[in-house]
Amino acid sequence: QTDDARAASIPRYIRVNRTCWSTKEALATFQSQGYQLGDPLASSKAFKQDDHIPDLFAFNPSVRFTEDPLYLSGKIILQDKASCFPAHVLAPPARDDAVVIDATAAPGNKTSHLCAIMQNKGKVFAFERDRKRFTTLKTMLSRAHCSNVEAVNSDFLTISPDDPKYIGVTHILLDPSCSGSGIVNRLDHLLDNEQDDDVDSERLNKLAAFQLKMIRHAMTFPSVQRIVYSTCSVHAVENEHVVREAIKTEEATRGQFRLGRREEILSTWPRRGIPEEMDHPADAESVVRCSPGEDRTNGFFVSLFVRMREDDAEVQ
């Protein structure tokens, strides 16, 4: 199948920005515009609420929202379904004392999703090292009415976990640069990623080393309880291999991190990791994959690291 054929089987997803209004209000608005509940791939007037991500709607791929006032005012966010998984899995609390990091934030779709889940409460530090992409991040966050986010134009790897500002960080979202090999939908690609079409194994290994370094750094934050690592790559080198190395590193064993159990990470999503690519084949259940086109999404990978508690040791 070509990328174009795959892209045609991916609905146009829009996430209702609950920072601005409710899913119920959005549903009524779409219906008042003539859309009817049904299979979005069957008709340009049919739309559907998503089975896995509350607040997500699927429309026909031919429907364009980029000029729509709902998009321009930040009430809806154009975001592929798979790209909604990381913030949903991280599940930060909606509490005034919550402190969360989005380590690699631009253009900011996952940041605004975190903000919506947190009901704009607490604090999100959103890091972005690239100056130009940082400017885009600021624009997107202001359009999405995120008032609990502090955007920082810095390299996450230079951020000290001992800085008093970050002592209380309990949740970290890590969606670092990757090969982008899972992206087949051009519009989302332009919005969401710095895709590299020409990836050789040397480049993949370099990316994997960087991705592993990012996870290890996240594990050194003293109060962190949950870390989500995701990519829009289909390569095991950037996915299962990075995860299996991360869980064995000193940062993980000293801090006692384990992989999220299936029930903690999209348990009803059928496509899991590739067993042969993990040290323990059963660990593949702990990670989620999306196959481009086949799953009506772009290609994607999500994993969750959880700091172990005493009662975890008994379960292990």
- Residue 157 touching ligand SAM (CB under 6 A): yes
The tokens describing 77, both together, are 């966010």
- Residue 138 touching ligand SAM (CB under 6 A): no
- Residue 177 touching ligand SAM (CB under 6 A): yes
**Spatial distance between the Cα atoms of 126 and 188, rounded to a whole number of angstroms:** 21
Going by C-alpha positions, the residue among 303, 299, 306 that lies closest to residue 225 is: 306
Going by C-alpha positions, the residue among 249, 235, 229, 244 that lies closest to residue 278 is: 244
- Residue 170 touching ligand SAM (CB under 6 A): no
- Residue 195 touching ligand SAM (CB under 6 A): no
What's the closest the beta carbon of residue 282 comes to ligand SAM, in angstroms?
A: 29
Q: Which residues contact 156 (CB under 8 A, 6 or more apart)?
A: 101, 103, 104, 127, 129, 214, 217
Residue closer to ligand SAM (CB basis): 28 or 190:
190
Considering only residues 67 to 86 of the shown chain, the ones binding ligand SAM according to CB under 6 A are: 83
- Residue 175 touching ligand SAM (CB under 6 A): yes
- Residue 238 touching ligand SAM (CB under 6 A): no
What's the closest the beta carbon of residue 105 comes to ligand SAM, in angstroms?
A: 6
Active site residue 115: no
CB atoms within 10 A of CB 115: 29
Residue closer to ligand SAM (CB basis): 3 or 130:
130
Identify whether 107 is preceded by a cis peptide bond (ω within 30 of 0). yes
Annotated binding-site residue? 163: no
What would the x/- binding string for ligand SAM be over residues 108 to 137, using CB under 6 A? Answer: xxx----------------xxxx--x----
Going by C-alpha positions, the residue among 88, 59, 111, 76 that lies closest to residue 296 is: 59
What's the closest the beta carbon of residue 310 comes to ligand SAM, in angstroms?
A: 33
Annotated binding-site residue? 155: yes
What's the closest the beta carbon of residue 142 comes to ligand SAM, in angstroms?
A: 15
- Residue 176 touching ligand SAM (CB under 6 A): yes
Q: Using CB under 6 A, which of 55, 188, 192, 283 touches ligand SAM?
A: 192
Radius of gyration of the chain (CA): 19
What residue numbers does the annotated binding site for S-adenosyl-L-methionine cover?
A: 128, 155, 175
Q: Which residues bind ligand SAM (CB under 6 A)?
A: 83, 104-110, 127-130, 133, 155-157, 175-177, 192-193
Positions marked catalytic: 232
